[in-house]
Amino acid sequence: MRVNGKNLFGFLILGLLLQGCASAELAVDLFKKHKRQTETGKQAKVVAKPHYKIGNPYQEFGVWYYPKRDLTYDETGLASWYGEETAVLGRPTANGEVFDPNIATAAHKTLPLPSVVRVTNLDNGKSLVVRLNDRGPFAPGRIIDLSHEGARLLGFVKQGIAKVRVQILAEQSLRLENLAKRGEFPSLTANDQGAMPEMTPAINPTVSLTAKSSKIKSKVAVDQPPQSALELLSQSRVGEVISVAPVATKIWVQIGAFGSEQRANDVFSKVGSVGSGGVSMVNRLGKRLYRVRLGPVDDVAMADSMLQKVFNIGFSGARIVVD
């Protein structure tokens, strides 16, 4: 019998599996690495076919998602980053681009592709502008998936998860949308990104905020006062890390926000056995809503467990938020 490389690798794996537990673990690890290398080789031939994408409603792992253009998107939650099993260099992204883990990009479940968002790590204050070009993450309770480079710049590669705030940058996203609809998909780096419109806060903050940039390119005269955090955040470019004060936050499981207080109380009565929580009133865009939350908790694992129990009760739209 002729033994080729593929058969030889199979015999090696079989031999390790028969030798015991430690060897079995080594065999599994070798198999995973071999699979990744094989997939990488196959994906290296992928030809980029980028296109502007919002997309139709879709289902992943039993949950429905409804993509839409939302120029007011501003949410808090948990961020993850592409693991080794999915971060395959050269694979196609959801909008037909070619994935590169060494470029700061991200995946989102519903926002248009491409879009530009600011992701702020609330634990360490690092804030980064990234370009969305993929769908995900589909792990429950996660709102954005960063590439390895994005997670590195935000400082949570080792932790794997971070409490973040994600804000869409409307002007930059509209610019990318217009370019994409003309078939243009510029690489967004600090060197080749076109000029972005400046954004000035409508109301000056009553508290003076200070921040520093890791790549400040300002030509402001030395005798001028330092820029505020809001000014730096509005002027920073893709790939540039801005540092602001970390924010102390708690983790919550939010079941939903309802226009009826009675409806909110009814929902809480069904999930109250999962953990402590309650109904609170909030104003969103001039509308009074009654928010149903469980928590707060300090531990992500506990939040994940509570979220799964809420799913099991029947509230598939529940999510993890930080506040």
User: Do 76 and 323 form a contact (C-beta atoms < 8 A)?
Assistant: yes
- Beta carbons within 8 Å of 178's beta carbon, 6+ residues apart: none
Q: What is the pLDDT along the chain (323 residues), one digit of tens a residue?
A: 554 555 555 555 555 445 544 444 444 444 444 554 555 455 456 788 899 999 999 999 888 999 999 999 999 999 999 866 555 667 889 999 988 899 999 999 999 999 999 999 999 999 999 999 999 999 989 999 999 999 999 999 999 999 999 999 999 999 999 999 999 988 644 333 333 333 333 333 333 333 443 443 333 333 444 444 445 555 556 667 899 899 899 999 999 999 999 999 999 999 999 999 999 999 988 899 999 999 999 899 999 999 999 999 999 999 999 99
The count of structural domains within the chain is 3
Same domain, 285 and 255: yes
Domain hosting 260: range is 251-322
pTM equals: 0.72
Q: Residue 121 sits in a domain of what CATH number?
A: 2.40.40.10
Which residues sit opposite 165 in a β-bridge?
76, 120
* CB of 255 closer than 8 Å to CB of 222: no
**Are residues 85 and 218 part of one domain?**
yes
Spatial contact of 215 and 240, defined as CB atoms under 8 Å apart: yes
Q: Give dist(CA 103, CA 111) in Å, integer.
A: 19
Distance CA 68, CA 213 (A): 32
Identify whether residues 76 and 168 lie together within a single domain: yes
In a domain, 203, yes or no: no
